[in-house]
Amino acid sequence: MPEVKFDDKKLKSVIESILFVAEKPVSIKELAEISGTFIPQVQQSLAFLIEAYKDKGINIIRKGNYVQFSTSSKNTKFIAKYLNENIQKKLSKEALETLAIIFYRQPITRAEIEKIRGVDSESVLQHLQIKCLIAAVERKKIPGKPIVYGTTMEFVQYFGLDNLKKLMELGKKETISESDQDSELKLGLDTIKKKEK
């Protein structure tokens, strides 16, 4: 049973801590239950916190009965740049090459990727799935029903729209041969990597 009296400063502190560790939006009801207060008290503290965080790098967003921390939309381009540089530092040349191939040819099977790269790609595909940059989309309706891969929203967030447009432009060159397309793809990826440094 919620307590009727609860120090307002402490309640705000509790809400901030919960939202900080939460991996998904938290309901107002849940905040009230955890803090041992009533929903109106939580709503009042939330209204104060939302206003207090309004002009900071971190905002509190409320959608219906759910709230969560979010980075300020004003800093989007800086966040994207940081994530892009951070992920590229952690990805090998092989991983970047495989990502470009998947983005360009998706949905694509492991066998098709290996045909382009000329080497076994099982470990690099597992690595990219762990990082949530690619995902198994479905199974191809051919004998053996191999898994087909595609890029994820995380991939889009990490690399940014400008770089993706550069890769997408390569896919429009339907008049050149497949081997030439593969060369264009690798050349485009190298250009992007140089520009990001």
Give 14 or 177, the one with higher predicted confidence.
14
Secondary structure (3-state) at 71: strand
Same structural domain for residues 22 and 103? no
Cβ contact 32:39 at 8 Å: yes
Same structural domain for residues 108 and 175? yes
CA 171 from centroid of its chain's CA atoms: 23
Same structural domain for residues 98 and 149? yes
Instruction: Give yes or no for residue 167 having a pLDDT over 70.
Output: no
Asked if residue 2 is part of any domain, the answer here is no
Boundary-marking domain end, from 71, 95, 118 = 71
Backbone φ, ψ for residue 7 (5° rounding): -55, 125
Cβ contact 16:31 at 8 Å: no
Same structural domain for residues 106 and 31? no
Same structural domain for residues 83 and 21? no
Instruction: Quote the pLDDT of residue 79.
Output: 76
Same structural domain for residues 108 and 36? no
Boundary-marking domain end, from 51, 71, 91 = 71
Give 158 or 26, the one with higher predicted confidence.
26
Instruction: Quote the pLDDT of residue 4.
Output: 43
Structural domain boundaries enclosing 48: 8-71
Same structural domain for residues 47 and 101? no
| Average pLDDT score over residue span 175-193 | 46
Same structural domain for residues 102 and 186? yes
Secondary structure (3-state) at 178: helix
Asked if residue 159 is part of any domain, the answer here is yes
Instruction: Give yes or no for residue 5 having a pLDDT over 90.
Output: no
CA 76, CA 78: separation in Å to the nearest integer? 5
Same structural domain for residues 88 and 181? yes
Q: Give pLDDT tens digits for 9-64.
A: 999 999 999 999 887 889 999 999 999 999 999 999 999 999 999 999 889 988 88
Asked if residue 83 is part of any domain, the answer here is yes
Same structural domain for residues 173 and 135? yes
Asked if residue 1 is part of any domain, the answer here is no
Give 4 or 110, the one with higher predicted confidence.
110
| Average pLDDT score over residue span 153-158 | 75
Instruction: Quote the pLDDT of residue 189.
Output: 53
| Percent with pLDDT over 70 in the chain | 72
Domain count across the chain: 2
Average pLDDT of the chain, as a whole number: 78
Single pTM value for the model: 0.46
Helices and strands, counts by H and E, the chain:
9, 6
Confidence bin at 81 (pLDDT 50/70/90)? confident
Give 43 or 185, the one with higher predicted confidence.
43
Boundary-marking domain end, from 41, 71, 101 = 71
Cβ contact 156:162 at 8 Å: no
What is the domain-level CATH number for residue 13?
Answer: 1.10.10.10
Instruction: Quote the pLDDT of residue 52.
Output: 94
Cβ contact 185:100 at 8 Å: yes
| Average pLDDT score over residue span 98-102 | 86
